[in-house]
Chain A
Amino acid sequence: MERTTNAISSDTPGISAGRLKASEYALRFCDSHAPLTLTQALIESERCYYCFDAPCTKACPTSIDVPQFIQRIAQSNIRGAAQTILESNILGGMCARVCPTENLCEKDCVRQTNESKPVEIGMLQRFATDAYFSDPGAPLFTRAASTGRRVAVVGSGPAGLAAAHRLAMLGHDVVVFEARSKLGGLNEYGLASYKTTHNFAQEEIDWLLSIGGIEVRTGQLLGRDITVDALINNYDALFLGLGLAGVNTLGISEPQAKGFRAAVDFIADVRQAKDMAEVPVGRSVVVIGGGMTAVDAAVQSRKLGAREVTMMYRRGPEAMSASIHEQEWAQKNGVTIRYWSAPKEILVADGAVTGVRFAVTRTEAGKLIETGETFSVQADMVLSAIGQSFVDKPVGAAIALEKGRIRTDDDGRTSHAKIWAGGDCRFGGRDLTVDAVEQGKRAAMSIDAALRA
């Protein structure tokens, strides 16, 4: 890259937008993994053994019949392949982009045994869904005869969308309430831009809604514009896909200082930006945390032109909730990952962050302890990414919680007979998009059974 003088660059101190040449942004924020070409897809699909009782399918939270959709790709039956995927996972297109397949279907692929090289299931799923969405033709899914029942879905993230679609398909009338201006939840606001380029999230939602029977009301925040009680009174059933609206605090003093913010907000800003050149980023960025949010924030900081980005995690690499694959992705993008570092103090001068002081940690008898040694990392932007939490206030006393999230049975049924819940707001999950889809789908079927009983 050409080194420019006098202009704003990666070397410009403080927080600044436009650190790169205009042409550079498009290159950096393109698809992180180039989709398979037809030829590549055909070659890869022929690697599938079409296993009996396939381990990949069992590993998929939505139980996609993987050998079947891959066989259909090999047979040049793209619509059939997409049907297999989407009837199990209505957001199969997004999941093909964001699923940690290396820990799910591909981890269990029998090709691992002799080759350590699974069939590229995620990439094939993306190929099939992309090819289908580019020319969908006649609807894949149609609605059953109307039941005359009305179901409210609060939250339009993966869980809410999956629930809404399945409910509509089963003949119920659905109203989706969304606090933000766009549907999609984390699909729209919480993912790194390079994971879902070209406005894919909205296109997928448009397609999903095309089944009909789903009314969308945006700008409706639970507790402000709508209430659980009113929804229970006005609808036959209620599905809560509220996500995690709260951001976990670092457990140390968090100053109101320029450059200190939650990683989720930064990610949402990047995603919603019309022009990446307008997104400000620090010269030196510290991201505190070890999950996918931390990786997405760190990598995007680098892509926006930050000179150095460091992810700070208080434990070792194996304990990180970002997979080894994700960690390598961060490192490949020039992010330094430092382990065994717990934040002690956000350093501030003149109302702006200047760095973070960390304590060196280690485990002793299974417990994480600080060694007493501390060190500081200079930064003009500090992003906190140590997890989100469920904000239970709008739900009120209506339903029982467990460890701060909504308690449900396997079908998503809460302690209230008319309320189901799914996605990250529900207790006991792994906070994966694909799990949220499954929970939404399953809750919809449970609601359907209850309404027909």
Chain B
Amino acid sequence: MADLSSNFLGIKSPNPFWLASAPPTDKEYNVVRAFEAGWGGVVWKTLGEDPNVVNVSGPRYGTLMGPDRRVNGLNNIELITDRTLAINLEEIARVKRNWPDRALVVSLMVPCNEESWKRILPMVEDTGADGIELNFGCPHGMSERGMGAAVGQVPEYIEMVTRWCKQYSKMPVIVKLTPNITDIRFPARAAKKGGADAVSLINTISSIMGVDLDSMTMSPNTGGKGSHGGYCGPAVKPIALNMVAEIARDAETAGLPISGIGGISNWRDAAEYIALGCGNVQVCTAAMVYGFRIVEDMISGLSNFMDQKGYSSIADFQGSAVKTVTDWRYLNLNHVDKAVINQESCIKCGRCHIACEDTSHQAITATKNGAAYYEVKDAECVGCNLCVSICPVPNCITMKTLKPGEIDLRTGKPVSSEYANWTTHANNPMSPTFQQKNA
């Protein structure tokens, strides 16, 4: 059986599944239940300075639901821990003592001054915690007070605070990044420059979940007024994967360990994050929807996947897909795909036809001899994958790659075996070909 054990910055855990810093890791009771359920580690819900913050006693969450009320996205307006520092530290110390084989990282957020950090770091270190995660990501509430995402949006602050933490503590430092920025590479580079041992991402995305159209009130709201929250869950996974990949392939941050966060709901999501370079993953929404036992399915699935693929450890496939992520300009413009509809499995819903007809390239038939029949017209198909993406039947529509020499019926030309991208394309004003022609 595959070895799922994880060693992230020297922090060992029996599996790579950690609970992210969030309500599920707010106190000893929850964390102990999580460890009993099998979670490899937790990032304790963010500690702050006393006096403790207060939360609203009203809706703190809202969801975006798909068919059958599956939770696609979760929004929250909870602040950091609303319990005193002393209670949290006492519980952290006890939990770490009782669960030595599990990872216990403490999330921190104190005002952006050296004294505050200098004061809290030794207290956390004394608990025996395995490391700290700097919460530079929380986009609601705390950011109004100059903390959380307000720090994460200024690379210079990230670097400065990270440096303080490295200076005043021996613990590994993970910097948690906010996605509410324009280019994730800049805060990641700043973290690295400040000496961070790792980055974790993404924190939540600023969000309003909707409007109650009867009362004309945004939701969720507290007695009639709401404030934007932070959005997470399956819907944010693609956004997070991109940011993870950007950091993984950036020359300046290459090799910087990454803890992946964002909509991880099952083993497959976790494996994808790991394939894009993450050393471990953090989960919150899935646990908040299904409870802690969901980790059993994540462990089982990842283990079976690794066995099937012959991976004996996480490291065996960590980062395997990073090299497949590139800039658009390097995509091979000579490559030609065509969609193929398997008539055996087609149920004749016609969605591929109408999607292609109305919104794409008019490349799918609707009838043949008067009866419903959906077939790709190779002379029109640009290989856009829309039909594949919206077909309700798994694997009914697939993409076929034309071999070099085959005629692309759309262009009437044979497919070239040569790799050619935009940088050299005749239509690119910056390309040598274009410049020669227009010289």
Q: Say yes or no: is B353 at the interface (Cβ < 8 Å to chain A).
A: yes
Write the nearest CB–CB distance from B51 to chain A, whole angstroms: 45
Known contacts A46-B68, A52-B366, A53-B366; A110/B354 CB under 8 A: no
Interface check A317, CB cutoff 8 A: no
Say which residue of A43, A51, A53 sits within 8 Å of B68 (CB atoms).
A43
Q: Please measure, in the bound complex, the distance between the C-alpha atom of A160 and the C-alpha atom of B67, giving whole angstroms.
A: 41
B372 at the interface (CB under 8 A from A): yes
B67, B348, B349, B392, most chain A CB atoms within 10 A: B349
CB-CB contacts below 8 Å: B318-363 with A: 347-351, 353-354
- Expressed in whole angstroms, the Cα–Cα distance for A207 and B372 within the complex equals 38
Residue B53 at the chain A interface, CB threshold 8 Å: no
In the complex the two chains form, what is the Cα distance from A46 to B69 in whole Å? 10
For residue B430, CB closer than 8 A to chain A, the reply is no
| Known A110-B347, A110-B348, A114-B347; contact A52-B68, beta-carbon cutoff 8 A | no
Q: Contact at B351–A49, with CB atoms within 8 Å?
A: yes
- B393, A52: Cβ atoms closer than 8 Å: no
Contacts of B349 in A (CB 8 A): 49, 51-52, 110
Chain A positions within 8 Å of B372 at CB level: 53, 55
Chain A residue nearest to B355 (CB atoms) is A52
Closest to B367 in A: A53
Q: Which of B67, B347, B350, B393 contacts A53 (CB 8 A)?
A: B350
**How far is B348's CA from A387's CA once the two chains are assembled, in angstroms?**
38
The answer on a CB contact under 8 Å between A113 and B350 is no
Q: For the complex, give the distance between the alpha carbons of A384 and B107 in Å.
A: 82
Which residues from A are CB-within-8-Å of B392?
49
Contacts of B68 in A (CB 8 A): 43, 46
Interface flags for B374-407 (1: CB within 8 Å of A; 0: not) read 0000000000000000001100000000000000
Residue A375 at the chain B interface, CB threshold 8 Å: no
Contact A55 B348 (CB under 8 A): yes
- Chain B residues whose CB sits within 8 angstroms of the CB of A51 once the complex forms: 348-351
The smallest C-beta distance from B30 to any residue of chain A, in angstroms, reads: 31
Residues of chain B from 63 to 113 with CB closer than 8 A to chain A in the complex? 67-68
Nearest B residue (CB) for A112: B347
- Residues on the B chain within 8 Å of A49, using CB: 349, 351, 392
Once bound together, how far apart are the Cα atoms of A107 and B350, in whole Å? 17
Query: Which residue of chain A is the closest to B391 with respect to CB atoms?
Result: A49
Distance in angstroms between the alpha carbons of A114 and B394 in the assembled complex: 11
Closest chain A residue to B357 by CB distance? A52
Inter-chain contact B67/A52, CB cutoff 8 Å:
no
Which one of A43, A46, A47, A113 contacts B347 once the chains associate, using CB atoms below 8 Å? Answer: A113
**Is A50 engaged at the interface, CB distance under 8 Å to the other chain?**
yes
B396 to chain A, nearest CB (A): 10
A31-B213 Cα distance, complex, nearest whole Å: 35
A6-47 Cβ-contact flags toward B at 8 Å (1 or 0): 000000000000000000000000000000000000010011
What sequence of 0s and 1s flags, for each residue 369-398 of chain A, a beta carbon within 8 Å of any chain B beta carbon?
A: 000000000000000000000000000000
Contacts of A114 in B (CB 8 A): 347, 393
With both chains docked as a complex, state the minimum distance between the C-beta of A271 and any C-beta of chain B, in angstroms.
39
A50 contacts B351, C-beta separation under 8 Å: yes
Q: Which of chain A's residues have a CB closer than 8 A to the CB of B348?
A: 51, 55, 110, 113
Query: A52 and B351: CB pair below 8 A?
Result: yes
Given contacts A46-B67, A114-B393, contact A52 B347 (CB under 8 A): no
Q: Which residues of B contact A55 (CB under 8 A)?
A: 348, 372
Tell me the complex Cα distance, A287–B114, Å: 94
How far is it, in angstroms, between the C-alpha of A114 and the C-alpha of B354 when the chains are bound?
21
A73 to chain B, nearest CB (A): 13
Q: Which residues on the B side are within 8 Å of A113 (C-beta)?
A: 347-348
Assembly CA distance A50 to B353 (angstroms): 12
**Among residues 120 to 158 in chain B, which have CB atoms less than 8 Å away from a CB atom of chain A?**
none
A192 to B349, CA, bound (A): 35
CA distance A50 to B306 in the complex (A): 38
B364 and chain A: residue at smallest CB distance: A52
Chain B residue nearest to A74 (CB atoms) is B67
> Which of chain A's residues have a CB closer than 8 A to the CB of B351?
49-52
- Closest CB-CB distance, B219 to chain A, in whole Å? 16
A189 CA to B68 CA in the complex, in Å?
Answer: 40
| Cβ distance B196 to chain A, nearest Cβ, rounded Å | 45
Kindly report which residue of chain A lies nearest to residue B70, judged by CB atoms: A46
Distance A43 CA – B366 CA, assembled complex (angstroms): 29
> Measured between alpha carbons, how far is A436 from B183 in the docked complex, in Å?
65
Residues on A with beta carbons closer than 8 Å to the beta carbon of B353: 52
Residues of B within 8 A of A54 (CB): 350
Cα A110 to Cα B392 in complex, Å, equals: 10
For B67, list chain A residues within 8 Å (CB).
46-47
Assembly CA distance A4 to B351 (angstroms): 61
Mask of A97-123 contacts with B, CB within 8 angstroms, 1/0: 000000000000011011000000000
Instruction: Report the minimal beta-carbon distance from B368 to chain A, rounded to whole angstroms.
Output: 13
What separation, in Å, do the CA atoms of A50 and B354 have in the docked complex?
11
Interface residues of A in 257-280 (CB under 8 A from B): none
Instruction: Choose among A43, A49, A50, A54 the residue with the greatest number of B CB atoms under 10 Å from its CB.
Output: A49
Separation of A114 and B349 alpha carbons in the complex (Å): 12
- Give the complex CA separation of A50 and B393 in angstroms: 14
Neighbouring A residues of B354 by C-beta, 8 Å: 52
Contacts of B393 in A (CB 8 A): 114
Q: Would you list which residues of chain A between 48 and 74 have a CB under 8 Å from chain B?
A: 49-55
CA distance A43 to B69 in the complex (A): 8
Q: Tell me the complex Cα distance, A222–B351, Å.
A: 51
8 tightest A-B contacts by CB? A52-B350, A46-B67, A52-B354, A113-B347, A110-B347, A51-B349, A49-B349, A110-B349
In the assembled complex, 14 residue pairs joining A and B whose CB atoms fall closer than 8 Å, in A order, are A46-B68, A49-B349, A49-B351, A51-B349, A51-B351, A52-B349, A52-B351, A52-B353, A52-B354, A52-B366, A55-B372, A110-B347, A110-B348, A114-B347
- 20 A-B pairs besides A110-B347, A110-B348 with CB distance below 8 A are A43-B68, A46-B67, A49-B392, A50-B351, A51-B348, A51-B350, A52-B350, A52-B351, A52-B366, A53-B350, A53-B366, A53-B372, A54-B350, A55-B348, A55-B372, A110-B349, A111-B347, A113-B347, A113-B348, A114-B393
